[in-house]
Chains A and B, each alone.
Chain A
Amino acid sequence: MAAILQILILGLALGGVIALMGSGLSLVFGVMRIVNLAHPSLIIAGAYITYWAFKASGVDPILMLPVSAAIMAAIGVLLYRLMFERETNSVKYSEMTVLLTFALAMMVEGVLGGLFTNTQRVTSPDYATEAFFIGDVFIPKGQLYAGLVSLTIITALTLFLKYSRLGYAIRATTQNREAAELLGVNVNFISILAFAIGLGLAGAAGSLVSFVFSFFPAKHWEWVAMLMSVVVLGGMGSILGTVVAALLLSVVAAFVGTWIGATWSTMTFFLALFLILLIRPQGLFGEKPEMA
């Protein structure tokens, strides 16, 4: 029983971090129809900001989170205005963003490689490799803190989207961009805001990732498929769906890894993606697209 409980704890702890990594991706798609393949590379950029502060002056990665989020949000405003704003009326906007963000991912990787070299990094606050031992089970402090911070941020984001005026506008734009504009929502401003929040979430996730996983500029290629699986399973655009999918898949992967073999744990994500696209393409919490 303790063994099962242990696997469950480890799965949930990992899922909490992956939820934050995926939520920015989901938000950006939901509001702006941008499939942001560069999102994982921007998470790594956030991780480097955090690593740099930790290395230079020992700033705790969790304390660096707001700074990293703010820097990445500012970069988000610039990137949106430079790369996406002029294309918003294009008929093939979503398809174009796939290519644009793919190119952006490669550029970010190149810039990070130039600035920080390709050497792998990880921040090492004491709690990153400590655990609470309770009887026969343990709770890893690093993943616990990362998971809790991650869920706190997502809860705050959900409350913001649900109860603030800007949140109403973002949700209205997510549901129907044209109708929102007709009702007086400045959809361009909302798109910039949502993209900035999405990248802010990438920066925040980067701070947490910096002590949970080691990273280097090219690491994002390993994460993009995993995050897409989580976002598609949850329903593209649904933050709640992303959180549920991340927790669910991480727990299942942990059981698969222990009982069947570690080789198969990664496959869990892709198998879930395959099945959900066959059975329920809109994902667990997504809305079925209207037929033309």
Chain B
Amino acid sequence: MRLARFLAATTALALAATAVQAQTLKIGASLPITGGLSVSGEKHKRGYELCTKLINQAGGILGRQVELIVSDNRSDPATAINQYERFINVDKVDAVYGTFSSRLTFPVGAILSKYNMVHAVPSGGALRIYEQGYKNLFYFQVSAAEYTGKDVVAVIKDLVAAGEGPKTAAIVSADDFFANAIAAGLLGEKVKDPATDKQIADLAPGYLADAGIEVVMREKWPEEGFNDWLNLANSIKRSGAEMIIGLTASAEEAVQLTRSLKTVGATPKLVYLSQGAQAEFIEGVGRNAADGVMIHTTWHKDVPFESTLAGKPFNNADFVKAFEIEYGVEPDEDSAIPFAVCQGIEQAITGAGATDNAKMGEWLHARTRDEPVRTVLGRFAWDERGLAKDKSHIMTQWHDGELKFVYPTGEFEGVVPFSYPKAGF
């Protein structure tokens, strides 16, 4: 009799647990928590976790609590692929969040497309990712990296007095998906699909040529293991370039490059870096070296973006405040972007009224300028490839230890005058 009671109770508990589990909405994210991409990977994790926590506190999505499953892919593409396969086939997740970096996003894109999952990409700007014909790809940044140079050159054209802009440039970059993509746009190269060798885009003549800036030095460093920063900085200095373009794959590389330029006594008129908006950058290079360095970003803490979370208004300032309460530090874009991805998935599920990824994809594709996805990065609507429409970068510049936004002017409050030329390091 006792045994029968025990079995009945156990069965009831198991059934109850299963019922609760069935109500939980599962979302998987494979991130580089360790390995070479771990600096940004950990910040992405914080963005996803905070967003999920706030959604759950507000009652969840469609009345279901969200269970976030984060796996560490160790910065390895094969592991990332395996983990997304596991999320879909073993964990039976309802949706996924994208991973960090073009290097990991490119192979993961094929897997998520195979299973018809909505692929919300926080970081993966190389144009070739969006030319593979994947249906449900949505990039939560401004545009493909190849087009970044448009906003860089716009700053020079619009904010520097005619005839005083830089006439020569040195482009140094990591030999990496993202950095090479930005360089391709600046230099006007042809973009090809590496698998088929088919031409995707011809970016000639390139944004620099278009602005009348001559490239006097072009150098790449290997994706990993490069230590000879002083030698590179010395070559840049000797090139005499008036503008230094450092296309780094991580904030760490931006720190190394900037410190080395300071050490060798380089004196360019303008420095543009693809990374360096993070707090570690100013800590690593110091105020003087950072002063005047221009960086493109998708997000800035002071931009008054209006968004929603769990159906209620949740603005950029609310995100900054919530992040500081949760983690005790100010967020940077490496946490803001995944937060926006999470908002996008939440709005897609709510908008579709279900976790059917096909319906979620249709709902996201149907977004327009007036009916967008609203995130802490602003409004999003996408073209058929999955690239955001009608968005431009926020061009920022370090001013006395503070990252200020200088462009576009007239769009937000708080834009400060562009500082030019740079007064040394």
Q: Which residues of A contact B (CB under 8 A)?
A: 3, 6-7, 10-11, 13-14, 109-110, 113, 117-122, 124, 128-131, 133, 138, 140, 142-143, 213-214, 216-218, 221-223, 225-226, 253-254, 257-258, 261-263, 265-267
Contact = CB atoms under 8 A, between A and B. Distances in A.
Interface centre among B225, B238, B250, by most A CB within 10 Å?
B225
Given A118-B42, A120-B252, A266 B289 contact: no
Contacts of B289: 129
Interface string B387-425: 000000000000000000000000000000000000001
A119 B280 contact: yes
Interface of B: 33-36, 38-39, 41-42, 75, 172, 175, 219-222, 224-228, 230-232, 234-235, 238, 250-252, 255-256, 259, 262-265, 280, 283-286, 289, 425
A124 B225 contact: no
B159 to A, nearest CB: 28
Shortest 4 CB-CB distances between A and B: which pairs?
A118-B38, A120-B252, A262-B221, A118-B42
Given A119-B280, A218-B38, A131 B220 contact: no
Contacts of B227: 14, 213, 226, 266
Contacts of B256: 213-214
Q: Is the interface of B mostly helix, strand, loop or mixed?
A: helix
Contacts of A11: 231
B35 A257 contact: no
Contact of B36 (A133, A214, A222): A222
Contact of B251 (A113, A120, A131, A261): A120
Contact of A261 (B219, B280, B284): B219
A130 B238 CA distance: 18
A262 B280 contact: no
A226 B284 contact: no
Nearest to A142: B263
A197 to B, nearest CB: 25
A140 B284 contact: no
Contacts of A129: 259, 262-263, 285-286, 289, 425
Contact of A122 (B36, B221, B284): B284
Interface of A is mostly: helix
A262 B222 CA distance: 7
Interface centre among B39, B238, B250 (most CB of A within 10 A): B39
16 contacts: A6-B234, A110-B34, A118-B34, A118-B41, A119-B280, A120-B39, A121-B280, A131-B263, A138-B265, A218-B36, A221-B35, A222-B224, A225-B225, A258-B234, A263-B175, A265-B231
B280 A140 contact: no
Contact of B226 (A121, A217, A265): A265
Nearest to A3: B238
B228 A254 contact: yes
Given A10-B234, A120-B251, A266-B222, 12 more contacts: A14-B227, A14-B230, A118-B33, A120-B280, A120-B284, A218-B75, A222-B224, A225-B225, A257-B231, A262-B220, A262-B226, A263-B175
A273 B228 CA distance: 19
Contacts of B259: 122, 128-129
A10 B255 contact: no
A222 B221 contact: no
Contacts of A122: 255, 259, 283-284
Contacts of B226: 262, 265-266
A289 to B, nearest CB: 29
